[in-house]
């Protein structure tokens, strides 16, 4: 294998890439677009929940109770209900996502040391959001209840006794921010799309222009051709990954806790695997249009739906969990989250690296056999 021939092909491919302004713009601007969309728009953190209040008691205590709910950024009062007839209308017309109903005897029962009941009506169309709202309501109500209990005990000169002091501690993502969870998956998704689409189009372009025959009769070996063709796009993909890491740190506070060399090493392996998909697609495609369609379907849809990028694989049916192994993004996302968020070493991710190498080896073997058979080499 000649290094000079590989560099010559890579130099030629770089020239093609810089001359094709549209393709270069897509490869460089597409990651920026996805970072903005997933960083700001795709967010599972529920904030500014619209709360409607039906205060039938209308006392200082009832006002103190619902004001305690809006003391954080989780709730904001959007409407005050004046009658029973308004309750259904508020939920039907989406004026509020949750309704707090304070009964008429709220303060009387409290000062009489009786159990006080309040009602929360939540829009359950979006089950995930409804569950989060319920958790926020439970936490806020428990906090208010604890505050009042301690106040009453202090007036009587007593101290509250808590048998079990529950203090949850969240590791790796203590603020439970969705963005920190999505950024590593976003890196994998962008890299697989850039590598698969660009490499498949590059090789098919040679078929459409009729230059593949010249390459076949030249002393260039298949491995040299593939290395030279994929090298420029690996460089572009690595640049995208570095850009996302820098912007993710500056805008969203996503910091790499693990080893940077291990991160770079696993990224190169993943790019090698992704380019093998592009090579395989190029061998079965006769035009750039077909190659683009297949590569987009193979890279984009599985990396979003089946990789664990957004939807947890563990909650999927068993058959779908088996199907998730068709995308290398699944294994790389586990690697990225392990290195970036948890800061682990290679002992925790070696099996994922092995899966990626095995995946690439199988695809390259099939691609080389199909190519040799088609070209009668």
Question: How would you write the pLDDT of the chain (377 residues) with one tens digit per residue?
Answer: 677 878 888 888 888 778 877 777 777 777 777 777 777 776 666 778 889 999 888 888 888 888 888 877 788 888 898 888 888 888 888 888 898 888 888 888 888 878 888 888 888 887 778 888 888 888 888 888 888 777 776 766 666 666 666 666 777 777 667 777 888 888 888 888 888 888 888 778 777 776 666 666 677 777 777 777 788 888 888 888 888 888 888 887 788 888 989 998 999 899 888 888 888 888 888 888 888 888 888 888 888 888 888 788 888 888 888 888 888 889 999 999 999 888 888 888 899 999 999 988 888 888 777 777 766 65
Closest C-alpha to 120, from 107, 147, 143, 138: 138
Give Cα separations from 161 to 149, 153, 158 (angstroms): 11, 10, 9
Q: So what's the pLDDT on residue 166? A: 67
Query: According to CATH, what is the number of the domain 49-155?
Result: 3.40.1710.10
Note whether 124 and 97 are within 8 A (CB).
no
For the chain, domain boundaries: 3-42+178-375, 49-155
d(Cα 306, Cα 109) in Å, to the nearest integer? Answer: 53
- pTM for the structure as a whole: 0.77
Q: For residue 162, what pLDDT is reported?
A: 63
Give the pLDDT score at 178. Answer: 76
C-alpha–C-alpha distance, residues 132 and 135, integer Å: 5
DSSP states of 79-115: EE--STHHHHHHHHTTS-SEEEEE-TTHHHHHHTT--
């Amino acid at each position: 294998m000649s290094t000079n021939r590989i560099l010559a092909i890579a130099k030629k491919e770089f020239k093609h890439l810089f001359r094709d302004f549209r393709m270069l713009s897509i490869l460089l601007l597409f990651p920026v677009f996805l970072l903005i969309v997933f960083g700001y728009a795709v967010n599972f953190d529920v904030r500014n929940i619209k709360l409607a209040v039906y205060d039938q008691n209308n006392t200082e205590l009832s006002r103190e109770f619902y004001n305690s709910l809006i003391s954080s950024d989780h709730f904001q009062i959007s409407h005050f209900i004046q009658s029973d007839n308004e309750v259904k209308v508020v939920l039907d017309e989406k004026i509020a996502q949750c309704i707090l109903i304070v009964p008429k005897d709220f303060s009387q029962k409290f000062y009489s040391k009786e159990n006080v009941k309040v009602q929360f009506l939540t829009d359950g169309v979006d089950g995930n959001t409804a569950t989060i709202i319920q958790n926020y309501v439970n936490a806020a109500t428990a906090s208010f209840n604890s505050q009042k209990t301690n106040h009453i005990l202090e007036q009587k000169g007593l101290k509250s006794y808590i048998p079990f002091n529950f203090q949850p501690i969240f590791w790796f993502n203590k603020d439970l921010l969705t963005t920190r969870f999505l950024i590593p998956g976003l890196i994998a998704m962008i890299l697989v799309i850039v590598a698969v689409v660009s490499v498949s189009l590059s090789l098919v372009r040679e078929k459409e222009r009729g230059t593949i025959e010249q390459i076949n009769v030249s002393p260039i070996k298949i491995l040299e051709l593939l290395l030279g063709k994929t090298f420029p796009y690996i460089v572009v993909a690595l640049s995208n990954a570095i850009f996302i890491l820098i912007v993710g740190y500056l805008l969203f506070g996503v910091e790499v806790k693990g080893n940077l060399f291990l991160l770079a090493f696993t990224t190169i392996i993943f790019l090698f695997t992704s380019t093998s998909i592009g090579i395989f697609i190029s061998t079965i495609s006769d035009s750039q249009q077909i190659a683009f369609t297949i590569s987009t379907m193979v890279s984009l849809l599985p990396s979003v739906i089946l990789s664990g990028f957004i939807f947890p694989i563990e909650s999927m049916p068993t058959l779908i969990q088996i199907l998730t192994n068709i995308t290398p993004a699944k294994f790389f996302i586990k690697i990225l989250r392990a290195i970036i968020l948890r800061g682990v070493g290679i002992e925790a991710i070696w099996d994922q690296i092995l899966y990626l190498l095995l995946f690439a080896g199988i695809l390259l073997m099939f691609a080389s056999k199909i190519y040799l058979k088609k070209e009668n080499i």
